[in-house]
Amino acid sequence: MKQEKYALPLFRGELALALAVVFNSFGVVLMLYSGSGISAISSVPYAFSEVFPFLTLGTWTYLFQAVLILTLMVLRRRFVVSYLFSFVVGFVFSELLDLHELWINVLPVNPGWRVLYFVVSYLILCFGIALSNRCKLPIVPTDLFPRELAQITKITYPKVKISFDAICLLVTAGMTLLFLGHLQGIGIGTVLAALTMGKVIGIMGNWLDRHFVFDIHHRLAEKTGVH
């Protein structure tokens, strides 16, 4: 069978998802290591890991992701099987968080490097989320939640993403102030990322759409007859 021709280069969804999980897990840990604060999407599980340290950041992350999945099912008013696969992806993401935390301390920590770490982590997270939004596969629940909520509410993704991040920061601030007596994990970088990341993800996503077409193996097999 003749393979279907695409007007743009093909970017396999499986590769996009794998890159997104690796990029985003590293970006979260690198942003925290920069000293500018943790990313908004991981700020809530980070707050729990600081207040209740008997579980790791990774463990609190997939517990938080389970709450997000359940919330989406309630909003959809039905059981969505693909959301369960999203949780599996989220579990891998959570384990990678703990893995990155094991080696990140080998990086230098002077102020100049910290600024670079923040910029790099910010861009990595934006690009990783833009990739995950296009992979056509179950994605990490913290990325899935704003995308699905935008579809459910018919509100644009950047607005939902910024609102979701802001709520995560408010919860984190409240928890750490209440239980620790001071803000923990929230810095200028966290706030800056929360207020701007939705827009930058949209810009990167538009760039990807202009340069690639995303598809996955079984859809390609259906179109071409190759298995």
Closest Cα partner for 117 from 26, 18, 19?
Answer: 26
**Interatomic CA distance for residues 226 and 218, integer angstroms:** 9
Domain locations in the chain?
A: 10-224
Output the CA–CA distances (angstroms, integers) from residue 72 to 22, 36, 45, 205, 222, in the order listed: 24, 31, 18, 23, 30
Instruction: Give the mean pLDDT of 62-66.
Output: 92
Q: For position 219, what pLDDT does the model report?
A: 55
* pLDDT for 174 beyond 90: yes
Phi, psi of 109 (to 5 degrees): -125, 20
Q: For position 8, what pLDDT does the model report?
A: 86
Element (H, E) at 52: none
* pLDDT for 176 beyond 70: yes
Tell me the β-bridge partners of 11: 214
Q: For position 217, what pLDDT does the model report?
A: 66
Which structure tokens are listed for 212? 């690639």
Instruction: Give the mean pLDDT of 107-111.
Output: 91
Mean pLDDT score of the chain = 88
Ranking 10-19, 69-78, 215-224 by mean pLDDT, the lowest is 215-224
**Interatomic CA distance for residues 203 and 165, integer angstroms:** 18
pLDDT band at 4 (very low <50, low <70, confident <90, very high): low
